[in-house]
Amino acid sequence: MVEMDRKIHLIITRQKDAHSEPYKEEFLVPYRPNMNIISALMEIQKNAVNAKGEKTTPVIWESVCLEEVCGACSMVINGKPRQACSTLIDQLTEPITLAPMSTFPVIRDLMVDRQRMFDALKRVRAWVPIDGTYDLGPGPRMPEKTRQWAYELSKCMTCGCCLEACPNVNNKSTFIGPAPLSQVRLFNAHPTGAMHKEERLTAIMGDGGITACGNSQNCVQVCPKGIPLTTSIAQVNRQVTKWSFKRFFG
C-alpha cells in the first residue's frame, strides 16, 4: 500500500508543568486510515521521538469518553477549539497544530484545568434540588415541547470551547462564560428546577455574570454540540430583566 509510508505532521505546543514556559515540538507519526487526534497522540505515547529524531517525553492530554460527550479532550486544533476524539485526521490540513486552550490554566502539555467552569455551575446552582427528609413525591411534568429544546441544552459537556472563543472571557474579565448561562436556562425550564429560578438569576446578576456578555456570538459558532447558546443567553436576559423589575417594584 502507498499509504503505508505516509506520516502525519503535528506541531504541538507543549509545557512541562503549570509554571514553565510553553514551547513547540514537531512530530511525524505513521498514518492509518480513520485516525483521530487521540490516536495520533497515542502513537507519540508509544514512540516518543520528535520530528528531528530525538527522544522526548510523551505528550500529555486528557480524555475520557472518546465519543464527544465528556468534554475532557478539548484542545485548540488548527486554531479552533474542538474535541480531540471527534476530530478526524483525514479532515484536517497538515501540518496539524495542537495547543492547549488558552482560557484555562495549563497543567501540562495539552491538559488544562477547567475548574472555573465547575465552580460557575455551582455558583449558578445548575441542578434541581430534590433532597428532603421525607419522600416529596413526583414533581410536575415537563411539557414535551419544552423537553425537546431542553434536551439540546442538556448536551452541554462543560468542554470549554465557548469560553475559549469568547473575547470577553479573559484574564482581565471575571465573565463566567456562555456555558453556565445556558445551564441557567435549562434548569429554570425544569418544572421542579423553576422553583429555584430566582436564586439562579440572582447568581448571574453578580460580578462576571450575564451582563459581561458582549454579543460577539462566537460561542454558538464553536459549540461542538450545536447548543443554541446565544438564544439561551438572550432568553436568560429576558428572565433577568423581568426578575429585576419584579424584585425592585415588588
Which of 44, 227 has the CB closer to other proteins?
227
Which of 44, 222 has the CB closer to other proteins?
222
* Residue 13 three-state SS: strand
Give, rounded to a whole angstrom, the gap between the first and last alpha carbons of the chain.
75
* Residue 189 three-state SS: helix
Assigned C-alpha cell, 108: 501540562
What distance in Å separates the CA atoms of residue 62 and residue 52, rounded to the nearest whole number?
26
Least distance between other proteins and beta carbon 212 (Å): 7
Assigned C-alpha cell, 83: 474535541
Least distance between other proteins and beta carbon 102 (Å): 9
Contact indicator for 182, 232 with CB cutoff of 8 Å: yes
Which of 29, 98 has the CB closer to other proteins?
98
Contact indicator for 29, 45 with CB cutoff of 8 Å: no
Name the site residues for other proteins (rule: CB under 8 A). Answer: 79-80, 165, 167-168, 170, 172-174, 205-218, 221-222, 228, 230-231, 233-242, 244
Least distance between other proteins and beta carbon 168 (Å): 6
Least distance between other proteins and beta carbon 86 (Å): 20
Which of 29, 162 has the CB closer to other proteins?
162
